[in-house]
């Protein structure tokens, strides 16, 4: 019995010793952790504020516009051809050559036409000489009664009239037969007919003179038509003939396009067509050119196109330096209303996440997210249609900045 009691006492003592050891270790570990946490808390500090750059939202005056795209076209395009046939002797322009109105662009060999002019001038001198005029004069007026042909016929008439009078006296005195008087009367009538014929011949020669002078003018015009001149100011867009080639009348030689001003054809959506009017300003840009060209609305179609539901309009764009080219694709902004005030912020300050637009402002040294609704874009600025007032500071290029972070504003 004593032996069993001693073994039981030993097991109880051992269990108590183990329990005391565990409790002492737990208390020691907890003390160490508390000491370590205290040391860490004492040695750590709050994160430094993040430097940000801000700009105030600006209220600016902008114009209300309608955006459309279209194609630039030449105001006029003329295919030049000669009015007379001949062999092309000179071609004075080539592709891209600028030309002025009235400038010669090509010439035919003029030899044949010069000879025709000389022939017609000789025929004119002959016609003037037949009317008793000087061959080299320019006055074609003539009095038929003063021409040699009429004076000769009048002299014959006067002689026939005297002969008839004498025969009448002799017949009254019974010195001649009646037949001789009748012959004298007939000769007088023939003389009267000849003077009328002489007057008509003079008038016919006058008509021939007019015809010869007209022929001279025609041949001179044909000689002038051997030179092909441009009817407009522009530039050569195509050369269609070569020197030495025989050309028929109307054969294309060169094509000239007017490059100032240009015509811009635009398709405006039906929902915005009601605000477009003739005379409104149009701002035009083309691919690869940062310059903004100014034009004006010149013409509007009277009907909406049913297939595309758009209104076709035409704008005139000045192009005196010639930097714009016909056929180029262009983007245009039609200024339909000026003087609308809007709030604008830099485009780099807009954050878009899951379709939600927002900006980050600074309030009491901390970043604050503000949801906004944007409008039109103007270069590197964006219109804020809703959610932000003018003058509020917005963070430029916020990156991963979130609301609630401490920030410091830097220049």
pLDDT tens track of the chain, all 411 residues?
344 434 543 554 444 444 444 333 443 444 444 434 444 444 445 678 888 898 998 888 777 788 888 999 988 899 999 999 999 999 999 998 999 999 999 999 999 999 999 999 999 999 999 888 888 888 888 888 888 888 888 899 899 999 989 999 988 888 888 898 889 899 989 988 888 899 898 999 999 999 999 999 999 999 999 999 999 999 999 999 999 999 999 999 999 999 888 999 999 988 888 889 898 899 999 988 888 999 999 999 999 988 889 999 999 999 888 888 888 899 998 888 776 778 889 988 888 888 889 988 888 888 888 899 888 777 788 888 888 888 888 899 888 888 888 888 887
Give the residue carrying structure tokens 């830099």. 346
In sequence order, what are the residues at sequence separation of 6 or more whose Cβ sits closer than 8 angstroms to the Cβ of residue 239?
Answer: 91, 93, 94, 95, 253, 254
| Residue 53: both structure tokens together | 């750059």
Q: Do residues 367 and 403 lie in contact, with contact meaning Cβ atoms separated by under 8 Å?
A: yes
Task: Determine the pLDDT at residue 174.
Answer: 84
Distance, in Å, from the CA atom of 201 to the CA atom of 198, rounded to the nearest integer, reads: 5
| C-alpha to C-alpha distance for 58 and 342, rounded to whole angstroms | 8
Query: How many CA atoms are closer than 13 Å to the CA of 217, on its beta-carbon side?
Result: 6
Phi/psi at 61 (nearest 5 deg)? -100, 120
pLDDT at 342 (0 to 100): 83
Distance from C-alpha of 318 to C-alpha of 295, rounded to nearest angstrom: 6
Contact indicator for 360, 398 with CB cutoff of 8 Å: yes
Looking at residue 10, what is its pLDDT? 52
Work out the number of other CB atoms within 10 angstroms of the CB of residue 21: 10
Q: What does the pLDDT read at residue 145?
A: 82
Q: Are 341 and 61 in contact (CB under 8 A)?
A: yes
Euclidean distance between CA atoms 58 and 390, whole angstroms: 5
Question: How far, in Å, CA of 106 to CA of 126, rounded?
Answer: 35
Contacts for 30 with CB less than 8 Å, ≥ 6 apart? none
Query: 7 to each of 13, 15, 18, 395, how far by Cα in Å?
Result: 10, 13, 17, 81
Asked if residues 249 and 82 have their Cβ atoms less than 8 Å apart, the reply is yes
**Cβ neighbours, 10 Å, residue 219:** 19
Question: What pLDDT does 339 receive?
Answer: 67
Instruction: Please answer whether residues 409 and 50 qualify as being in contact, where contact means their C-beta atoms are separated by less than 8 angstroms.
Output: no
Length of the chain equals: 411
């Amino acid at each position: 019995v004593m032996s069993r009691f001693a073994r039981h006492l030993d097991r109880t003592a051992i269990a108590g010793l183990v329990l005391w050891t565990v409790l002492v270790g737990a208390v020691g570990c907890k003390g160490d952790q508390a000491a370590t946490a205290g040391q860490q808390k004492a040695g750590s500090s709050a994160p430094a504020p993040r430097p940000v750059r801000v700009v105030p939202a600006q209220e600016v005056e902008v114009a209300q516009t309608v955006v459309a795209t279209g194609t630039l076209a030449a105001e006029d395009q003329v295919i030049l051809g000669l009015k007379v046939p001949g062999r092309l002797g000179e071609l004075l322009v080539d592709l891209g050559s600028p030309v002025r109105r009235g400038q010669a662009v090509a010439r035919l060999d003029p030899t044949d036409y010069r000879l025709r002019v000389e022939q017609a001038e000789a025929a004119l001198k002959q016609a003037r000489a037949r009317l008793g005029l000087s061959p080299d004069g320019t006055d074609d007026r003539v009095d038929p009664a003063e021409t040699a042909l009429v004076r000769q016929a009048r002299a014959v008439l006067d002689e026939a009239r005297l002969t008839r009078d004498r025969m009448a006296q002799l017949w009254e005195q019974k010195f001649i037969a009646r037949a001789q008087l009748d012959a004298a009367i007939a000769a007088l009538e023939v003389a009267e007919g000849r003077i009328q014929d002489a007057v008509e011949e003079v008038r016919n020669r006058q008509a021939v003179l007019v015809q010869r002078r007209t022929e001279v003018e025609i041949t001179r015009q044909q000689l002038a038509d051997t030179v092909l001149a441009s009817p407009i100011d522009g530039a050569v867009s195509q050369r269609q003939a070569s020197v030495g080639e025989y050309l028929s009348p109307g054969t294309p030689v060169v094509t000239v396009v007017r490059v100032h001003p240009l015509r811009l054809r635009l398709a405006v959506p039906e929902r915005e067509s009601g605000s477009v009017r003739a005379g409104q300003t149009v701002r035009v840009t083309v691919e690869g050119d940062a310059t903004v060209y100014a034009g004006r609305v010149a013409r509007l179609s009277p009907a909406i196109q049913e297939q595309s539901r758009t209104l076709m309009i035409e704008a005139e764009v000045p192009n005196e330096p010639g930097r714009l080219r016909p056929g180029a694709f262009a983007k245009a902004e039609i200024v339909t209303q000026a003087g609308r005030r809007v709030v604008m912020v830099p485009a780099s300050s807009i954050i878009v996440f899951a379709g939600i637009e927002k900006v980050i402002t600074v309030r009491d040294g901390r970043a604050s997210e503000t949801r906004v609704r944007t409008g039109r874009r103007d270069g590197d600025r964006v219109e804020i249609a809703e959610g932000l007032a003018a003058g509020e500071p917005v963070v430029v290029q916020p990156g991963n900045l979130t609301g609630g972070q401490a920030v410091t504003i830097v220049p």
